[in-house]
Amino acid sequence: MTEDDKQGFAHLIEKELSSSDKILKPDFNQKTGRELLAFYLQSKFKQVLAYDNKAAEPIFTEVRYDFIQKFSRRLIQNPNKRIMIGITGESASGKSTICKTIKSVIERFNMPVTILTTDNYFNDISELIAKFGSFDALRDNGYDVDSPNSFQLDILKEDLEKISRGEDVYSPEYLLNGTGVSVPHAKLIPSNKVVVVEGMASMYGDNKDIFDAKIYVETDLEIRKDRFLRRAYMERNQDLDNAKKHWDYILGAGEKYVQPYRKEADIIINGDADLGYFTQILEYIHTITNNFNA
C-alpha cells in the first residue's frame, strides 16, 4: 500500500470534518430519521469502495452487489439489535489480525465492541488425546479437527442468538495446551453494540444466517503457508516437520470446509493488505457515521 493511498483517506477524513455541507443529525428514534441515515450511508459507503478500488492494493476484493442496501435496511427495521459481523477464512489468512484492528479502532472512539472466537467451541477431545497419546497422533489416525462435526455448533448458535438480543453469555474455553480440554461456560462474552465473531466455524451450518455482515478473508497461498509455519515453529514451539504435516492437513480442510463459504460472503477482504490503510478506512467510516450538524 502506497503512502499516497494512506494520505488519501487522511485527506478525506479532514475534508469531512471541516466541511460546512453537513446534514442535520437524524432522529434515530423515528423511522424517517433512520431512512435518511441509511440513504446517506449508502452513498458514503459507495464512495469508500470507489476510492479503495483505485488503490494500489485495495482492501476490498469484492463486495456483494446488494450488501449495502440490505445492511442499511436492517438498521432501519431493527435498530436495537446488535450489529453482528462474522469473519471467516482459511487458516493463517489474517482473520484474527483484522479483528484486532477493528477492535482497536472501534474502542478508540469509545464504542464498546465484543470479539468472540469460534475456536473456543471445539469439542472436548481430551479422552481421545489420552487414548492416542497426543493431538498429532489423533490427527494422524484420521480425526478431522476442522470438520463442522468437531465444533459445538448448537451451543455456538444458542450463544450467538442470545448475544444478538443483548444478553451476555459465558462461552466455552478450549485450552491450547495440547490436552484437548474444553471448559464449559468459562469466558464471559458481553453483548456490546458491535459484535465481531471470527473463525472458520462462524459460517458453519445456519450460524451464518445471524450475521448482518459476512466477511471472508482471502490471502495468497504462499503468504499463508509462511505465516502458518512461522507461527507454529516460533510461537508455539512445534516441530517443523510436524508443522508441515499439519499444514498439509489444513490445506485440504480449508478447501473442503471453508472455501465454499466464499460465495456466500458479503465482503471479501485482502488479508495481506496494509493494516495502516485499513485503519484509515475504518476511521473514515466512523467519521461519516458521526459527523452531522446538531
Q: Give DSSP secondary structure letters for 109-126.
A: TT--EEEEEGGGGBPP-H
Query: What's the confidence (pLDDT) of residue 20?
Result: 63
137-166 burial, b if ≥16 CB within 10 A, otherwise e? ebbeeebebbeeebbbbebbbebbeebbee
3-state SS assignment for residue 91? coil
Query: What's the confidence (pLDDT) of residue 26?
Result: 64
Contact 59, 281 (CB under 8 A): yes
Question: Which grid coordinates are listed for 12?
Answer: 478525506
Instruction: Read off the DSSP letter of residue 193.
Output: S
Query: What's the confidence (pLDDT) of residue 25?
Result: 65
Residue spans of the domains in the chain: they are 1-59+273-294, 60-199+210-272
Mean pLDDT, consecutive 10-residue segments, the chain of 294 residues?
58 66 66 78 84 87 91 82 93 92 86 92 97 93 95 97 96 93 97 93 93 95 93 76 91 96 95 87 76 54
Count the Cβ atoms, other than its own, within 10 Å of residue 258: 21
3-state SS assignment for residue 106? helix
Query: What's the confidence (pLDDT) of residue 129?
Result: 96
pTM beyond 0.95: the answer is: no
**Beta strands across the sheet bearing 113-117:** 60-63, 267-270, 213-218, 83-89, 194-198, 113-117
3-state SS assignment for residue 85? strand
What is the rounded radius of gyration, in angstroms, for the C-alpha atoms of the chain? Answer: 21
The arrangement of secondary structure in 60-199+210-272, i.e. its CATH architecture, is 3-Layer(aba) Sandwich (3.40)
Query: What's the confidence (pLDDT) of residue 132?
Result: 96
